[in-house]
Structure formats: C-alpha cells, structure tokens
C-alpha cells in the first residue's frame, strides 16, 4: 500500500520537475547554505519581479567571501538559484563575486525554463545587493549599528 503511494508520489515529483535539470532538482531539494548569519558583514533582501523575496548574508575576510547564506519565500527554482549563487560566491574575492550575473547562475544550473529565468535574476541581484551593503559599511562598520537604532 505505502509502496503504491510512494510510486504515485514519485510520479508526481517526476512530472513536476520534468522541465528541470538534475542540478536544479538537486539544489531545490537539497539546498546549500540555507539560513542567516548573525552579525553578517553584508546582507540584503530583494524582491523579484514575481513578488518573491530573497535574503543573502555574507561574511568577508581578507577580501574573500568566507561564509554566505540565503533564504527565500519563493518557488523551488528560486531555492535552487539561491543555493547555486551562494555556492558560486563562496571562496571568491568580493570583486569576483560581484561579477556573478543572472546568466552565470543559469549556466551553472544547466538552464531554466523561460518562466523561471527570473528566479536566477533574483538570486544574482540579491548577491549583488549584499555585496554593495558590505562595501558601503566596509570601512566604517560602526555605521551599521548606528543605522539599526534608527
């Protein structure tokens, strides 16, 4: 009985993900770098064209992104894109990571259906905004605490 149910569920999953690559499915179902970094050196929350949001937090040491995490209230594809963009940025210099664009995320995921390409844009834009936030406070980190009290 339960094996029939398992088979039916597997079939539904297969149909749901039929248009996606193995990489997308893997990152959507086993997302890397999920969560928040307390006292992050840079962070951003961005709302995509579909209304979904993504957060990214990062820690930087010696101009290198040592730790990076994300969270999204978006679809499975946005989870895959957030997971991938954080994997791509981790260990890169801030400058290298700031060059990651939507197309790079799409390429790393092996492509996305047309309806979902904006999920990669949301991930790339959120990474970029988190890096900008880091750079804005890099030399005067006390200003971050000052802003929190506003």
Tell me, letter by letter, the H, E, C secondary structure of 18-76: CCCCHHHHHHHHCCCCECCCCCCCEEEEEECCCCCEEEEEEEEECCEEEEEEEEECCCH
Smallest separation (angstroms) from ligand FES to the CB of 96? 25
50 is catalytic: yes
Q: Please give the residue ranges that form the binding site for ligand FES (CB under 6 A).
A: 48, 50, 52, 74-75, 77-78, 119, 122
Q: Which helix (H) or strand (E) holds 102?
A: helix 102-109
Separation between Cα atoms, residue 64 and residue 40, nearest integer Å: 14
Which SS3 state, helix, strand or coil, does residue 131 take? Answer: helix
Residue with smaller CB distance to ligand FES, 38 or 51: 51
Smallest separation (angstroms) from ligand FES to the CB of 127? 14
Size (the chain), residues? 150
Residue with smaller CB distance to ligand FES, 50 or 135: 50
**Given the residues 34, 45, 50, 117, the one annotated as active site:** 50
Residue with smaller CB distance to ligand FES, 60 or 122: 122
**Given the residues 24, 81, 119, 124, the one annotated as active site:** 119
Smallest separation (angstroms) from ligand FES to the CB of 119? 4
Catalytic residues: 50, 119
């Amino acid at each position: 009985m339960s094996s029939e149910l398992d088979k039916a569920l597997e079939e539904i999953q297969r149909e749901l993900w039929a248009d996606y690559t193995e990489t997308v499915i893997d990152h959507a179902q086993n997302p890397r770098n999920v969560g928040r970094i307390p006292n992050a050196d840079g962070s951003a929350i961005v709302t995509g064209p579909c209304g979904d949001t993504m957060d990214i937090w990062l820690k930087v040491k010696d101009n290198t992104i040592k730790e990076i995490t994300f969270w999204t209230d978006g679809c499975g594809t946005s989870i895959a894109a957030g997971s991938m963009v954080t994997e791509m940025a981790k260990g890169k210099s801030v400058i290298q990571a700031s060059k990651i664009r939507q197309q790079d995320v799409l390429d790393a995921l092996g492509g996305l259906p047309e309806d979902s390409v904006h999920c990669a844009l949301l991930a790339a834009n959120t990474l970029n905004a988190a890096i900008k936030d880091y750079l804005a406070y890099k030399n005067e980190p006390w200003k971050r605490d000052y802003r929190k009290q506003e």
